[in-house]
């Protein structure tokens, strides 16, 4: 991976996906341009926040600039799958989004999480994607986040495949 080339755009594909079973999943933000693929480790909460922020941004852009609606259905389901092998270049600390009206492209910028003892500037990866790609990413990310462990209706905590100890069920196991 050429760590010097950290800006892609427009990307050929951009997605959020996971590897591992529910409860032990690792979330990734991944994009490619040509043969070069960049994968970044993100948190489940970051995937959800990105999906919501992108959806809100797209709604605002359509009304502010009187743009035609993004067409997530124009993005191939294959372009929403992780490309293997997934080799993350870093774990993400923060994600930002933006828009370039002149190019009609949405920006996703992800900053590297540094360890406390690292004394250097964090890497930043910038992905430029179409509004339709980002609308598809937003919908897909919500599906990926919701595909995890079921949530206990009583306490709101995830239920593991082997069961769940629910504090609101008076100490009794609840599955």
Band the pLDDT of 173: cuts 50, 70, 90.
low
Band the pLDDT of 2: cuts 50, 70, 90.
very low
| 130: number of Cβ within 10 Å | 20
- Give the domains, in start order, of the chain with CATH numbers: 7-149 (3.30.2450)
**Alpha-carbon gap, residue 24 to 127, rounded angstroms:** 27
Band the pLDDT of 155: cuts 50, 70, 90.
confident
How is 100-138 classified by DSSP, letter by letter? Answer: ETTTTEEEEEEEEPPPTT--SPPPEEEEEEEHHHHHHHH
What local confidence, expressed as pLDDT, does residue 23 receive?
83
pLDDT tens-digit map of 36-90: 999 999 999 999 999 999 999 999 999 999 999 999 999 999 999 999 999 999 9
């Amino acid at each position: 991976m050429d760590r010097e080339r950290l800006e892609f755009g427009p990307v050929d594909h951009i997605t959020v996906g996971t590897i591992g079973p529910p409860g032990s999943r690792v979330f990734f933000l991944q994009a490619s341009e040509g043969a070069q693929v960049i994968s970044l480790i993100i948190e489940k909460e970051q995937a959800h926040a990105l999906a919501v922020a992108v959806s809100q941004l797209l709604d605002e852009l359509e009304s502010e600039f009187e743009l035609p609606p993004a067409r997530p259905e124009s993005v191939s389901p294959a372009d929403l799958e992780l490309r293997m092998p997934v080799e993350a270049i870093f774990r993400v600390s923060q994600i930002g989004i933006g828009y370039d009206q002149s190019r009609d492209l949405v920006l996703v910028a992800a900053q590297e999480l540094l360890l406390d003892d690292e004394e250097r500037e964090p890497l930043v990866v910038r992905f430029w994607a179409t509004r339709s790609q980002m609308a598809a990413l937003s919908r897909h990310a919500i599906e990926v986040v919701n595909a995890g462990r079921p949530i206990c209706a009583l306490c709101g905590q995830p239920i593991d495949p082997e069961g769940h100890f629910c504090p609101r069920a008076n100490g009794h196991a609840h599955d």
